């Protein structure tokens, strides 16, 4: 009996490739779960640092554990001076995601755990990366604008520190809490493209930095991490209201409206809302079913209201998602080997029949 051939050209859509304990996404039900907890319950009720702890250690911390963990992150926020010097030598028009990706292997050279292959060392590397991503992104934005990088403030949270290192002013509590909630909501999203890229590299037993660099590279693609950038570019192109579901979107949307009111200009929120309504109606009419906006749709205007450059939206995604990537790399290296073969090694179907059903006969150079 002939064996069934696999379905081809799926891009792995709908193909289960591994098991995970980290997160679950049920889009049709509007559910995003981190280690058993709904993301919508975590946002606004926990800090980004708590969620990082949850993703790395499989449970929420108590007060003492959280305090100690925050101190670990604070101790690791500074980036080696040699890396900042290398960034200062880069072209000022370099893409922020390319700069971020370039610094990841640089940081590996300064990590004392890089030659170790155990879960504790990998976890320490994860903490260093999580702590430093925000520092690098903020430093690059200042460097490219001819300003000196600002050292992190040990008295500020990860969210507040990024806004401080970016603008030189500590954000007020409301602004910091909004940005913190965004980091929580972007921290993890199961086997998306960048997480799979990181896990695939980790499956070769490459170290944390190599795997994370692959994740950053995947996120830089416009079909993955560039969604909120394109949303803001669309809003700016429309410019005027007269010309016109993801559970995380319902949390971020009112934040965008609030910051619009604070700025005395709700135009970007209003445009987003109008486009959502019209887009849903058009899709319903054409397809006969509902469509829902995702988290990127309203995070675009929210970040813009915060005064963040549009091309930093994807790096901000990485500042948050490094937590999820790290957890997945650790699971791939030390927690998931029993669930699947060690190395990701998909098959392909060769369709390059250049010489018909037979193989091509080699023709010497002087006979071609």
Residue 356's pLDDT is 81
Mean pLDDT of 273-297: 57
Q: State pLDDT tens for residues 190-248.
A: 999 999 999 999 999 999 999 999 999 999 988 776 555 555 555 455 455 444 475 56
Q: State percent of the chain over pLDDT 90.
A: 58
d(CA 21, CA 100): 28
The SS3 assignment for 46 reads strand
| Among 152-166, 210-224, 261-275, the range of highest mean pLDDT | 152-166
Q: Which residues does 260 contact at the CB level (< 8 Å), separation at least 6?
A: 266, 267, 268, 269, 270, 301, 305
Residue 29's pLDDT is 77
Length of the chain: 368
275-281: long-range pairs with CB below 8 Å, 24+: 275/234, 275/235, 275/238, 275/244, 278/244
Q: Does domain 230-300 have CATH number 1.10.230.10?
A: yes
Do the Cβ atoms of 67 and 182 come closer than 8 Å?
A: no
b/e code 219-241 from CB counts within 10 Å (16+ = b): bbeeeebbbbbebbeebeebeee
- List the chain domain ranges: 23-225+310-339, 230-300
Confidence at 165, pLDDT banded by 50, 70, 90: very high
Q: Which two tokens stand for residue 276?
A: 């959502």
d(CA 245, CA 260): 22
Fold of 23-225+310-339: Citrate Synthase; domain 1 (1.10.580)
DSSP code of residue 6: P
* Element of type H or E holding 320: helix 313-330
Residue 277's pLDDT is 57
| Among 25-29, 30-34, 49-53, 245-249, the range of highest mean pLDDT | 49-53
Q: Which two tokens stand for residue 52?
A: 């990082």
* Burial status of residue 20 (CB atoms within 10 A of its CB: 0-12, 13-18, 19 or more): middle
Q: What is the mean pLDDT of the chain?
A: 85
Give the count of beta carbons closer than 10 Å to the beta carbon of residue 85: 9
Beta bridge partners of 33: 24, 38
Do the Cβ atoms of 332 and 214 come closer than 8 Å?
A: no
Confidence at 283, pLDDT banded by 50, 70, 90: very low
> What are the strands, taking DSSP E only, across the chain?
23-26, 31-34, 37-38
Residue 4's pLDDT is 57
Q: What is the largest CA-CA distance in the chain?
A: 78
């Amino acid at each position: 009996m002939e064996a069934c051939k696999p379905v081809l050209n799926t891009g792995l859509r709908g193909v289960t490739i591994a098991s995970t304990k980290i997160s679950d996404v049920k889009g049709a039900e509007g559910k995003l779960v981190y280690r058993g907890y709904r993301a919508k319950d975590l946002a606004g009720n926990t800090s980004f640092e708590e969620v990082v702890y949850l993703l790395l250690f499989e449970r929420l911390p108590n007060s003492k554990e959280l305090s100690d963990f925050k101190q670990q992150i604070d101790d690791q926020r500074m980036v080696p001076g040699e890396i900042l010097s290398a960034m200062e030598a880069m072209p000022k028009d370099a893409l922020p995601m390319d700069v971020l990706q370039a610094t990841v292997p640089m940081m590996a050279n300064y990590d004392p755990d890089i030659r170790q292959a155990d879960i504790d060392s990998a976890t320490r590397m994860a903490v260093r990366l999580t702590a430093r991503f925000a520092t690098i992104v903020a430093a690059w934005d200042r460097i490219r604008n001819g300003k000196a990088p600002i050292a992190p403030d040990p008295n500020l949270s990860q969210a507040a520190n990024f806004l401080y290192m970016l603008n030189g002013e500590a954000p007020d509590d409301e602004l910091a809490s909004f940005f913190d909630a965004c980091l929580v909501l972007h921290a993890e999203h199961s086997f998306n493209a960048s997480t799979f890229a990181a896990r695939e590299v980790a499956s070769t037993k490459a170290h944390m930095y190599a795997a994370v660099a692959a994740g950053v590279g995947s996120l830089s693609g416009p079909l993955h991490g560039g969604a909120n950038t394109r949303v803001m570019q669309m809003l700016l192109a429309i410019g005027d209201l007269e010309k016109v579901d993801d559970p995380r979107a319902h949390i971020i949307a009112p934040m965008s409206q609030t910051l619009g009111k604070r700025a005395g200009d709700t135009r970007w929120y209003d445009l987003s809302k109008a486009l959502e309504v019209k887009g849903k109606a058009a899709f319903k009419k054409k397809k006969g079913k509902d469509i829902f906006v995702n988290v990127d749709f309203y995070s675009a205007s929210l970040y813009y209201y915060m005064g963040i450059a549009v091309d930093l939206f994807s790096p901000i995604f990485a500042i948050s998602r490094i937590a999820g990537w790290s957890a997945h790399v650790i699971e791939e290296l030390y927690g998931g080997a029993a669930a699947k073969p060690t190395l990701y090694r998909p098959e392909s179907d060769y369709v390059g029949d250049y010489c018909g059903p037979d193989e091509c006969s080699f023709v010497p150079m002087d006979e071609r």
